[in-house]
Amino acid sequence: METIEGSPDKGTAFYETRSLQCGTRLLSLSTPVVMGIINLTPDSFYDGGKSGSIDQVLRQAGQMIEEGAAILDLGAVSTRPGAAEVSESEEKSRLYPAFSAIADRFPEIILSADTYRASVARDCCAMGAGIINDISGGSADSGMMPLMSQENAAWVLMHMQGTPQTMQDNPQYHEVGVDIADFFASRLSVKELNGKQNIILDPGFGFGKSLNDNFRLLNYLDAFLTFGLPLMVGISRKSMIYKTLNSSPEKALNGTSVLNTIALLRGASILRVHDVAEAVETIKLVSALNQQSVIR
């Protein structure tokens, strides 16, 4: 793949240690890890409404941890295409009780808050969040980057064209991989970040991308390694799978494993998924393959 001009070289803390500071924890990424998705919304595209009561949330969290998740990502705002906006107060009322309950029951797990609001991120960091997963890459709230520059929590810098309400209205790129690399480079150079190192890059599959854009992006994925930061891929049960297969999100698990395999081979360090056990198996198999490649 081509070199991304103007990007940081591989002399970064991540490349030197293959680890990531997540709040008070140090997460090893010498082998890729799984981030399990816990949606606290009634209208997410695949599992909306499944995590209703706190007891249900705790059962789901416990199962994901047992299956091998290293991170749990809690979100209280649906970001599917065309999703309705959710007020800040509603997001907090959905998110905080579940976040607090999981933190109390499973203190060993790294928790991620899926939010683009700085005020929510601040509160979750105070509750022990190790990661803030911001789908807007700091674009939705001007307070996010200054906040994250001061917090020990890792920050997911994701690319999205438009908003969840508009992002699939004929998205356009000159060249999707290059355009997103330019976005990353511009965001990483913003002075408000104050040289923050514990950043995760997410190209945002399905967030303002056509089906063809998504597959071009998957082909381009290893070019983003030039930034010297861990890559997260979230393609679990998304439309690039089920629309290509003329299927549905419910039938897209096998396709998810196939594309997660490709993502791992192209350098992904974190797989964000609904189905933890299958993703853990995918990582084990790809890791075995990579070990043999090194030995040879």
Closest CA to 193 of 148, 230, 162, 233: 148
Give the number of other CB atoms < 10 A from CB of residue 82.
13
Residues acting as catalytic residues: 238, 272
Q: Which pair of structure tokens corresponds to residue 93?
A: 């009322």
What pLDDT was estimated at residue 43? 54
Q: CA–CA distance from 113 to each of 59, 62, 75, 228, 267 (Å)?
A: 18, 17, 6, 23, 24
The answer, as to whether pTM is greater than 0.85, is yes
Closest CA to 221 of 257, 188, 262, 253: 262
Residue 42 contacts residue 80 (beta carbons within 8 Å): no
Phi, psi of 233 (to 5 degrees): -125, 125
What pLDDT was estimated at residue 172? 82
In the chain, domain spans: 13-295
CA–CA–CA angle 114, 253, 66 (5° rounding): 60
What pLDDT was estimated at residue 165? 56
Phi, psi of 34 (to 5 degrees): -110, 135
Residue 54 contacts residue 98 (beta carbons within 8 Å): yes
The answer to whether domain 13-295 has CATH 1.10.490.10 is: no
Q: Tens of pLDDT along the chain (296 residues)?
A: 343 444 444 446 676 678 999 999 999 999 999 999 999 987 554 454 555 689 999 999 999 999 999 999 999 997 766 667 889 999 999 999 999 999 999 999 999 999 999 999 999 999 999 999 999 999 999 999 999 999 999 999 999 986 565 556 667 888 999 999 999 999 999 988 988 999 999 999 999 899 999 999 999 999 999 999 999 999 999 999 999 999 999 999 999 999 999 999 999 999 999 999 999 999 999 999 998 865 55
Closest CA to 232 of 263, 256, 211: 263
- E strands along the chain, which residues? 19-22, 25-28, 33-39, 71-75, 110-114, 131-134, 154-158, 199-202, 232-233, 270-273
Residue bearing tokens 């499944």: 50
